[in-house]
Amino acid sequence: MANKSVIFITDFGNSHYAGILHGVVLKYNPNANTIDLTHNITPFAIVEASYILSVSYGYFPQGSVFVAVVDPGVGTERDVLITLYKEYIFIAPDNGLLSPFLNEGKTFKLTNLRIFENTSNTFHGRDIFAPLAGLLSRGEPAEKFGVLKENPTLIEWWSPQKLDNQTYQGIVLHTDRFGNAITNIPCSYLRNIREIRIKGVIIQDHFTSFGHAPYDTPFMYCGSSNFIEIALRENNFAKKYGVNPLTPLLCILK
């Protein structure tokens, strides 16, 4: 059997649901290397999960299998997708989570459900996603489990909406452990930004790192994933101002 890595990203939190995924994969492929990317996605936050997956997958070996379970539509008629992209394999519900990989990847929808027994209506992570990951990680081809998917759900969260020549509507993609708000405004905009407006706060200052910023003044900077982030030095910007994934913002250019 192949010794591929299976990496999990879910909104399960610190629960036994997360641990069960490891066990199920190892039943199907005892040689798999199971890894938690994170189980702390905000519940039901599809765009947040999509962002984190997109900026993380490339740090793992090619051939890795990613199991992404943020699935508010579990038990409905939504499809389960297998996307092959740059020698990586991604498994997720058809709800936009795999958007960054769809245009250049090859995507199948799962149709062969006969291989899964006693499938519940509420825990497809355990009953479908993890078994599928185990099988794929040991070298089974995606074509064995489904057919090509036409028009999978696409959410272009990386493209802020242009309102006029100077104004873009953006969103917060993720708030990290330190309370920094990662936006969907690319760093290429930074030199032309006059201000960002979010939750009644106007941010005009920008610095290259936290140590250069003053205390108690929100500022913007180019984050490590090449999107503009907003922070308070040694403080929690998101908590102080009530910012969460999908919080809207306005980006005003000079």
Domains of the chain: 5-148 (3.40.50.10790), 161-253 (2.40.30.90)
Residue 193: the pLDDT is: 97
Residue 97: the pLDDT is: 98
Residue 114: the pLDDT is: 77
Mean pLDDT of 181-205: 97
Mean pLDDT of 116-139: 93
In tens, the pLDDT along 39-76 reads 999 999 999 999 999 999 999 999 999 999 999 999 99
Mean pLDDT of 80-98: 98
Mean pLDDT of 151-167: 97
Q: What letters, b where the CB count within 10 A reaches 16 and e where it falls short, cover 14-35? A: eeebbeebbebbbebbeebebe
What distance in Å separates the CA atoms of residue 40 and residue 201, rounded to the nearest whole number?
Answer: 27
Distance linking the first and last C-alpha atoms of the chain? 58
Task: Identify the CA nearest to 37 among candidates 21, 20, 56.
Answer: 56
Q: What is the mean pLDDT of the chain?
A: 96
Residue 113: the pLDDT is: 80
Lowest average pLDDT, out of 17-21, 117-121, 170-174, goes to 117-121
CB contact at 8 A, 25 and 34 = yes
Whether 135 shows a pLDDT value over 90: the answer reads: yes
Which amino acid, residue 10?
A: T
What distance in Å separates the CA atoms of residue 130 and residue 144, rounded to the nearest whole number?
Answer: 16
| Both structure tokens of 189 | 């905009």
Residue 2: the pLDDT is: 65
